[in-house]
Amino acid sequence: MALEVKICGLKTEEAVDAALAAGADLLGFVFFPRSPRNVSLDEAVRLAERARGRTKIVALAVDPDDALVEAIAGRLAPDLLQLHGHETPDRVAEIAARGRLAIMKAIPVAEAADLAAVPPYVPHVARILFDAKPPRTPQSLPGGNGLAFDWRLVRDLDPGRPVMLSGGLDAGNVAEAIAVTGVSAVDVSSGVESAPGIKDPVKIAAFVRNARAAATRARPETETEDAPP
């Protein structure tokens, strides 16, 4: 499977255009008022129209109520709804049915025991996203907060759904993350910013370039190992 790259937390036309120019496969828009990457639904709809048909559109929400789910589904019509809160498997199933949306559920990881949370979600989601567990501080937000976790915990993990890796990724470490985990999709937000919520086109381009190069290097090695003697 070819590597997919998601650039999340886009707020401006310039950021969307930079992600498109770099060749990102998925663009993410955040609906969470506490985040410096938060956008209104009107803004997200406008920005998504620049990319629709060229990339997949992802809406990120944290414990959304039914009204927000219906508004996102009806107006933005994303390819994926990324749930980044404390949604239970039953609530995820409700959201998927109410919005008729494919769901990507974020699972926060700090230790191997955290992976036990995955199986109950699998019947209700299209993808699983592994992110760093946020620190227990008042300032922390759902998500990786620019922090990485021990990638070896999800090395070659197959939960029965496609996996995406997030948390603390940037152009300098994405190649190592892909090599360690074997994932086929990576997600970045703060790692391509010059300041919280401000995307840097140069960092976006470098991230996508380095991720693609890492995936290209990995494929021949796999093919060689699997080839008959």
Report the catalytic residues: 8, 131
Query: How far is Cα 208 from Cα 139, in angstroms, rounded to an integer?
Result: 29
72 DSSP 8-state letter? I
Query: How far is Cα 63 from Cα 218, in angstroms, rounded to an integer?
Result: 37
Q: In Å, how far are 4, 71, 183, 188, 197 from 152, measured between CA atoms?
A: 20, 38, 11, 19, 29
DSSP string, 202-228: HHHHHHHHHHHHHHHHHHHHHHHHHS-
35 residue type, one letter: S
Continuous segment of H or E residues that includes residue 176? helix 174-181
User: What would the two tokens of residue 69 be?
Assistant: 């789910």
